Amino acid sequence: MQEAESPRDGPILMAGPNGSASSERAAEIGSRADRMRVRAAWMYYVEQMTQNDIATALGIGRVSVVRLLAEARNRSEVRISVAGELAELTQIERALEARFTLETAIVVPAPGAGRDPSPVISAAIGAYLSKTVASGMTVGLGWGRTLLDSLPFTDAQPLDDLRVVSLLGGISQAHRFNPAEFAWRFAQIFNGDAFLLTAPAIVDSLATKTALIEHCGLRSTLDMAAHLDLVVLSVGGIAANATTYRTGYIAEEDRLSLQEAGAVGDLLFHFIDRDGTLVDHPINSLIMSADMASIRGAARRVVASGGPDKIDILRASLAFVRPSVLITDELTATSLLDQTADI
């Protein structure tokens, strides 16, 4: 263990060990109770916030704050230090929340140098959604491997009047990462209704796009996407091995021309530059998806991704979507903070 001085006079933060973590451990660390307890302890002992301010920040009552602090002390997570295994991650989360004006940042342990962080991020997504999705919600979903792999970590529970909207058209080739497949399976977990964009993700012309929306029954689904309670998105990099290109749906020639136009990746097949602006490229006008203004207007916007190939597009998406929740791994989170500090 390493010790680091708090930025204020007060307790010492004792950071937990770095290293590999199984998906099961990531789900445990992502539990709401553990996270809430350590965040309350961090705010009180390190940031020196009052119990009333902590209650407001966490959306709980002051009595609950008192109970969380007492429990943290009983677990020996607070002596003259915050010694919980989540302490170092909590520090990173709080820095992300402040830097990018997030409601919540969820940072999971990195799985080790050179290893793909997607599995542990997927576990954290599942844990978050299990606690967040509720009856009466309209939930909009993106696509991608990280989101699809969150399904085994999402607790099945029957909800009432849940509407699940796929925000992107389908991929014609049979593929496990198909947006429609993810939305359908997600809806089944919660006993909800799935509403799909039954059209290709990319069409050949604006005339085709208009015809599909106005004359082929897609308008009602797109209208529903304009009133989302929760939207869950992942991002794709611009490298040839990204899911967007491995599906074969976007040709290598188009990928290279998107790079030349300044794209660092995509969000729902919308290609943006490092400043979070749509690049000037014909593909961006041919996407069959919910309107990006509607997505930015959703009550709660979750972006979840990680890995060295996703840092530029994640940072761009933070500017483009302005999410309320970010779910990522500690190495990606640290890179986002370091990169932003250099700007």
Residue 106 is predicted with a pLDDT of 95
Residue 94 is predicted with a pLDDT of 94
Least confident of 115-119, 183-187, 299-303, 315-319: 115-119
Residue with more model confidence, 340 or 61: 61
pLDDT at residue 163 above 80?
A: yes
- Rounded to the nearest integer, the mean pLDDT of the chain is 84
Q: Which residues of 78-107 are buried (b: 16+ CB within 10 A; e: fewer)?
A: beebbbbbbbbbbbbbbbbbeebebebbbb
Per domain, the residue ranges of the chain are: 2-100, 108-341
**What does the alpha-carbon distance between residue 218 and residue 211 come to, in Å, rounded to a whole number?**
10
> Domain 2-100 is of which CATH architecture?
Orthogonal Bundle (1.10)
Q: Does domain 108-341 have CATH number 3.40.50.1360?
A: yes
pLDDT per residue as tens digits for the range 303-328: 999 999 999 999 999 999 999 999 99
- Which tokens sit at 224? 């529903």
pLDDT tier, 111 (very low <50, low <70, confident <90, very high otherwise): confident
The 3-class SS string of 150-161 reads CHHHCCCCCCCC
Q: What is the pTM of this model?
A: 0.78
Q: Which residues lie below 8 Å from residue 83, measured CB to CB, with a gap of 6+?
A: 14, 76, 77
pLDDT per residue as tens digits for the range 20-74: 444 554 555 457 788 889 889 888 887 788 999 999 999 999 999 999 998 988 8
Q: What ranges make up the beta strands (E) of 58-192?
A: 81-82, 104-108, 138-141, 163-166
- For 4, the enclosing helix (H) or strand (E) is strand 2-5
Residue among 238, 240, 287, 290 nearest 259 (CA): 238
Residue 51 is predicted with a pLDDT of 93
Q: Report which DSSP code applies to 300.
A: E
Average pLDDT over residues 148-152: 92
**What does the alpha-carbon distance between residue 312 and residue 302 come to, in Å, rounded to a whole number?**
17
Count of beta carbons in the 10 Å neighbourhood of residue 59 = 10
**What does the alpha-carbon distance between residue 303 and residue 315 come to, in Å, rounded to a whole number?**
11
Cβ burial, residue 77 (10 Å; 0-12/13-18/19+): buried
